[in-house]
Every structure is written in C-alpha cells, then in structure tokens.
C-alpha cells in the first residue's frame, strides 16, 4: 500500500480547511486535504450555497458558493491534492508521525493532522423506521450507484427535493415508481415538479403526498412498505426497493475514537497552537472549542493561521520559522508564483 | 422573559426562563437540555433543532417563514405540529410555551 507523506493533513475542505491549507503552503509546508463530501466547500456548499454571508472581513456580501470559489482561487497557485468522497476512519501514532487511514484505503504519514471538520462528516439522513437497517445497502438505499438494478422492478422513493424528484423521473422510464412525500408541496425545481405531476397524471408515477413511511416488511428480502398520513390512514405498497432522499446530516463519526478531549461534539484546544490533547493533532473552525470560541468563519481563518505555524515546528524540526509578510517577502511571492517588485 | 418547558423524549420536563429575543433553540442549548443538536447554529440550514409544539400553542406562534417547511422535510419524524426551534423567538407572549423534543434529530 502506498503511503502518502505530507507535512500536514487537513481533514475537512470547508472554508477553514481551505484557508489553513493556504497558510501552510505560504510558509513552505505541503499539505493534502481529505473530505467526505464529493465537492469542496463543506457546510458553505452543502447547507447554504445560495445564502448570503455578511460577516467575512472586507467582503460586504457573498454567498456560500462564492466564498468557496474565492478560497479555491486563492489556493490555486499551490496545486493542493484533494481526496474527496473519503472519510478519515483511523488516526494512530507511529514514532513521530501520525498514520491516517481513510475508508477508501488511502494511507497518510504526517507529523501534523489538522481537523477542520465542522460538525463532523456529512452522511445521508436515514429512515426513522428502525427495521430499515436490516435492508440497508441491499434494498433500502440513500444514494444510487448503479441504476440498472432497478430495471423492471418496483421502486418507492421518499423525499420532496431535487434528488427524489430527479430519480423519480429517471427511474420511471424503466421501473414502476412510487413517490412518497410528507406534504403536497415539493421543494425541487419548478420544472421538475411540473414534470412529476404530469407523469403522475399519466399514471407513470404513483404519487402519495402527505404520507410517510410507517413500517417495512419482508423476510430476508424487502416485500412491502406501509405508509401513513396525518389522519392515520395506512396504505401498503409492494416494492422491491425503498430509496430515501432526505439530505445530509453531520455526524461526528470516527473522530470520537481518536483519543481527543471531546465535549458536546467539539474538540478542546489551546489558543496558542489550536492543538488538542494529542501532540501534532490540531482542531480549527467550528469543531474546536476554547473559552470565548465564536463559531464564525473568520475565527476559523485565525485558528488555521496559528495552527499552520505550529505545524512548522514538527514538520521542520531543524529549521527556524521566520515570520514574513506577503507584501514584502520574495520567498512567499515565489511560492505564490507572482512577480516581485 | 418567558418560562419555556422542554419535554425530552424520555418524558423529563425541563422548565427554564429564557430571555426575550433568544430563540427556543438557544434557550435549550445554553441550558444543556438534551436532544436539540442545532448543528448549523440557527441558520435554518440543518433541521436538527426540530421540536413538536402542542396544538394550543402551535396556532399562537408566528407562522413559519419560507424555507422552514422545506427544512422540516428532512427532520426526523416530522408531524403537523413540527417546528424548527431556532425559528421561534422568545417574547413575553410565549410564557408557558411547551415543546416536545423528538427521539433524535437525525
């Protein structure tokens, strides 16, 4: 197995993780970034890409997506390696280094691990009916990898956003589709909503609004699902698959097992290096806590800048870190690939 | 100031005084009431501060703003009387409000 060696590994590609990477590269350290989402930006891109933010210093107004794109632009000169759709599962000490493993089997060896994980990793929200676990990844799914498995089968889709609606439209071509949603209004794009209603009228999709899953049945294999509405009326739908599209939720996940001091889903750090109780593991952004902590993006930037300086000591034990300004330092300008005056 | 009662899923009552202007979510988080996660910190972006408001109070509360119902689609076991507690702002009029906290937030 190939070992990826780096001066610092950043967990989380949200705004704090991205700016921390910028700070590391600026002072001459290399780094790589791991994130469980399939895209860069963390909560900014997953929770509020279109919502305006008004408290980024010197940026009067920008959306979550714009902020993310600006941060990506800012680190462009550095060519940083991202490992998306990977979740860090294990962090273990080996000599002076941390050995970090992801759920994809990628392994890193690094003296510095910076956790910029927000409230944890984004995972799909699941059905509240507990028995669904028995069928999970077989006939109860929260994402689709191979749509051919649904051909000529009955698929029951739950949800009212674009994922649920898009898949209902797509799968209705080759499968019998039930679409179940808790209310009459859908929050997907209007054109998609119209199309769904059209297909429902033409009996190509069976639409059940104001219903939610109440029970799931089957011995070994999924046979049927009971749905119930607010007036306690129940219907039984025979189905081969149940798909849930309820968006993502943040789970602290494996971070809880790395021997860190955790209180209320946040990691305790000092305010000099933003180091945790484990030497060489730092926490920055929403996931860290210390007296006076403010959960603002701007705090994450400050925390990342200081954690990056702390990384220097462990990554370059025989060198002395020298503070320099981007306005005047030739070395920094070289790293950025800009001309010096 | 308003006295707000939070009933957790194991039927424990927690009655606390919450300052005007705070949200019902903040009242819970600041007083360590279990069961309200509020992952996004009150931005109506995560549906993890979901509560049930009893019928009597439900109609007295200011109506949901656009977007709250969309977020509730993602909540754990939403019902007719579901609200996001970050969107209920405490005032004297809410004195006596009781909310039930669901089994979990996701």
**Chain segment A281-314, per-residue pLDDT in tens:** 999 999 999 999 999 999 999 999 999 999 999 9
Cβ partners under 8 Å of residue A136, min gap 6: A126
Domains of chain A, first to last: 3-123+249-336 (3.50.50.60), 126-246 (3.50.50.60)
In which band, very low, low, confident or very high, does the pLDDT at A341 lie, cut at 50, 70 and 90? Answer: low
- Summarize the confidence of residues A70-91 as an average pLDDT: 97
Q: Which residues of B touch A128 (CB under 8 A)?
A: 76-77
User: Checking DSSP bridges between strand A121-124 and strand A112-115, what pairing results, if any?
Assistant: unpaired
The 3-state DSSP class for residue A97 equals: strand
Q: Does residue B106 belong to any structural domain of this protein?
A: no
Q: How far apart are CA A205 and CA A261, in angstroms?
A: 51
Residue B90 lies in domain: 2-100
Average pLDDT, whole number, for chain A?
Answer: 95
A270 pLDDT more than 90: yes
Helix pair A297-315, A15-26: axis angle to 10 deg: 40
Tell me the CATH number at B69: 3.10.20.30
In which band, very low, low, confident or very high, does the pLDDT at A340 lie, cut at 50, 70 and 90? Answer: confident
Q: Does residue B41 belong to any structural domain of this protein?
A: yes
Q: Does residue B70 belong to any structural domain of this protein?
A: yes
Contact A286, A278 (CB under 8 A): no
B74 and A212 in contact by Cβ < 8 A?
no
Mutating which of A247, A264, A285, A295 best tests the B interface, going by the most B Cβ atoms within 10 A? A247
Per residue in B13-43, pLDDT (tens digit) is 999 999 999 999 999 999 999 999 998 889 8
Per residue in B75-96, pLDDT (tens digit) is 999 999 999 999 999 999 999 9
Q: Does residue B105 belong to any structural domain of this protein?
A: no
Q: Which residues of A touch B45 (CB under 8 A)?
A: 43, 47-48, 51
- Summarize the confidence of residues A1-6 as an average pLDDT: 89
Q: How far apart are CA A64 and CA A15, in angstroms?
A: 9
Q: Does residue B60 belong to any structural domain of this protein?
A: yes
In which band, very low, low, confident or very high, does the pLDDT at B66 lie, cut at 50, 70 and 90? Answer: confident
A335 pLDDT more than 70: yes
Secondary structure element (H or E) that encloses residue A94, with its range: strand A88-94
CA distances from A31 to A23, A79, A254, B90 (A): 10, 10, 21, 46
Residue with tokens 């609200």: B83
Mutating which of B43, B74, B82 best tests the A interface, going by the most A Cβ atoms within 10 A? B74
Number of domains in chain B: 1
Q: Does residue B62 belong to any structural domain of this protein?
A: yes
Q: Does residue B87 belong to any structural domain of this protein?
A: yes
Give the closest of B48, B73, B77 to A128, CB-based: B77
B74 and A247 in contact by Cβ < 8 A?
yes
What is the 3 state secondary structure string of A66-92? Answer: HHHHHHHHHCHHHCCEEEECCCEEEEE
A264 pLDDT more than 90: no
Q: How far apart are CA A35 and CA A15, in angstroms?
A: 12
């Amino acid at each position: 197995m190939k070992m990826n060696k780096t001066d610092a590994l950043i967990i989380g590609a949200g705004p704090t993780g991205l700016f921390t990477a910028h700070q590391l590269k600026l002072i001459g350290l290399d780094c790589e970034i791991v994130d469980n989402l399939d895209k860069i930006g963390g909560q900014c891109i997953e929770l509020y890409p279109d919502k305006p933010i008004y408290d980024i210093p010197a940026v009067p107004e920008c959306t979550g997506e714009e902020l993310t794109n600006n941060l990506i632009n800012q680190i462009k000169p550095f060519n940083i390696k991202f490992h998306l759709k990977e979740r860090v599962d294990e962090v273990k000490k080996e000599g002076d280094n941390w050995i970090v493993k992801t759920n994809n089997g990628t392994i890193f060896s690094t003296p510095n691990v910076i956790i910029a994980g927000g409230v944890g990793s984004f995972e799909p929200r699941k059905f509240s009916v507990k028995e669904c676990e028995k069928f999970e990844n077989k006939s109860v799914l929260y994402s689709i990898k191979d749509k051919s498995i649904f051909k000529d089968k009955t698929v029951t889709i739950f949800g009212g956003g674009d994922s649920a609606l898009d898949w209902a439209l797509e799968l209705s071509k080759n499968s019998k589709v039930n679409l179940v949603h808790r209310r009459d209004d859908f929050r997907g794009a209007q054109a998609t909503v119209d199309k769904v209603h059209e297909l429902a009228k033409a009996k190509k999709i069976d639409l059940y609004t104001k219903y939610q899953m109440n029970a799931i049945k089957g011995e070994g294999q999924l046979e049927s699902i009971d749905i119930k509405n607010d007036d306690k009326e129940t219907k039984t739908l025979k189905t081969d698959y149940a798909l849930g599209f309820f968006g993502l939720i943040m789970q602290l996940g494996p971070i809880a097992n790395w021997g860190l001091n955790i209180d209320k889903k946040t990691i305790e750090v000092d305010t000099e290096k933003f180091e945790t109780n484990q030497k060489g593991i730092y926490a920055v952004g929403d996931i860290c806590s210390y007296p006076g902590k403010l959960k603002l993006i701007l705090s994450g930037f400050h925390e990342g800048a200081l954690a990056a300086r702390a990384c220097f000591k462990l990554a370059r034990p025989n060198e002395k870190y020298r503070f320099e300004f981007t306005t005047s330092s030739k070395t920094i300008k070289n790293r950025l690939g800009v001309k010096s005056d | 100031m308003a006295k707000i009662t939070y009933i957790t899923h194991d039927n424990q009552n927690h009655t606390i005084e919450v300052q005007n202007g705070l949200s019902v979510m903040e009242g819970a988080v600041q007083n360590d009431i279990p069961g309200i996660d509020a992952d996004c910190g009150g931005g109506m972006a995560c549906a993890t501060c979901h509560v049930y408001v009893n019928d009597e109070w439900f109609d007295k509360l200011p109506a949901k703003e656009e977007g709250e119902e969309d977020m509730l689609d993602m909540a754990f076991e939403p019902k007719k009387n579901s609200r996001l507690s970050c969107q209920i702002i405490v005032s004297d009029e809410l004195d006596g409000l009781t909310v039930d906290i669901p089994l979990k937030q996701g």
